Each structure stands twice: as C-alpha cells, then as structure tokens.
Amino acid sequence: MIAIACIHGFGLDLPKVEILFTVIVFANPPFLYFMSFFFRKEESGSLFIKLMHFLLGLIAPLALFILSFINDKTRDIGDTLRWFLYPFPIFSLINGYISINGRDISMWINELDEKPEIYSKYVAGYPLCFLLGGLGFYWILVALFELKVFDIEKCLSGRGKSN
C-alpha cells in the first residue's frame, strides 16, 4: 500500500492502478506458497523466488516493452512471450503498471484513434485477468498439494534412483 501512497503523493497520472496493487496482495501469497512445494530447503526456495521476482518483475517487463518499439517482428515476439509470463503474478503486476503508465504509447503502437480504457485488452486488462484468475488457480493448486494429490516429495525422493 506504500506504492499506492507514493503514486498519489507524487501526483502520478496512473488511474485505477490501485486495483492491480490490491489484487496482487491477494494473488501473490498463494503463488509463493505453491512454489514452496518444489523446494526442500527454505534457503534455496527463497533464492529462487528472489531471482524469479528480479527477472520476471524487472527484466522481462522492460525487455518486452522495448521489443514493442523495434519493429513488427519483435513486437509479435514480445506479444507471444507475454502470454507465457502472465501466469506469474509479479510479471502481471509490473506489466500492467507499465501499460497503464504508457497508455499513450499503447495508443500509438496499436494505431488507435483515442486513448483505450485502462483495463481494456490494449492496456492492463490481460494482466488484471491473469491476477484474478491466478488468485483462485494457485489456491486450488496449494490445496491439491496439501491433500497430497500431487506429492512432490515422492517425486523428489525418487529422482536418481533406478528400479
């Protein structure tokens, strides 16, 4: 909520960005909980999550934003890659934030006559949809792992053993 306070405190023109920040507060914890099932040691899981947040929350959104300017081929590559990264909540948040901040650029890239709505497909609609969808999806996965429907420990302990 500090981010929202800073956005309003500095008078940034980011309408309705509060929705993204509110949803990420509820969508990211089940994702992190889900990811924790894949690590035996807390340290290795923590390091992986930190690297993932750095790569998917900073590097990937900026790289895709830059790809949208180079030419039509790189824009198409970026648009395709974006779909593989949307399921990660941190990527959806930052991509949505960048899209809201650059909605004038989005108007130019998509050759629109007027500014698109904030949560349309041209700006931050898809990131919001993936955050909302991920909220339920990751809680379902967590429940399935907790109920041992998917037993990752069994899979990890069997690795490297021959029958």
Read off the pTM.
Answer: 0.85
- Taking the C-alpha atoms of residue 138 and residue 127, their distance in angstroms, rounded to an integer, is 16
Q: Return the ∠ at Cα 43 (arms to 37 and 46), rounded to 5°.
A: 65
Query: Cβ neighbours of residue 79 under 8 Å, at least 6 residues apart?
Result: 68
- Taking the C-alpha atoms of residue 29 and residue 107, their distance in angstroms, rounded to an integer, is 33
Place of tokens 């931050």: 124
| pLDDT one digit per residue (tens) for the chain, 163 residues | 787 888 888 888 888 889 999 999 999 999 999 999 888 888 999 999 999 999 999 999 999 989 988 888 998 999 999 999 999 999 999 999 988 888 877 777 777 778 878 888 888 899 999 999 999 999 999 999 899 888 777 766 765 555 4
- 100, amino acid identity: I
Contact in structure between 98 and 61 (CB atoms under 8 Å): yes
- Taking the C-alpha atoms of residue 91 and residue 62, their distance in angstroms, rounded to an integer, is 10
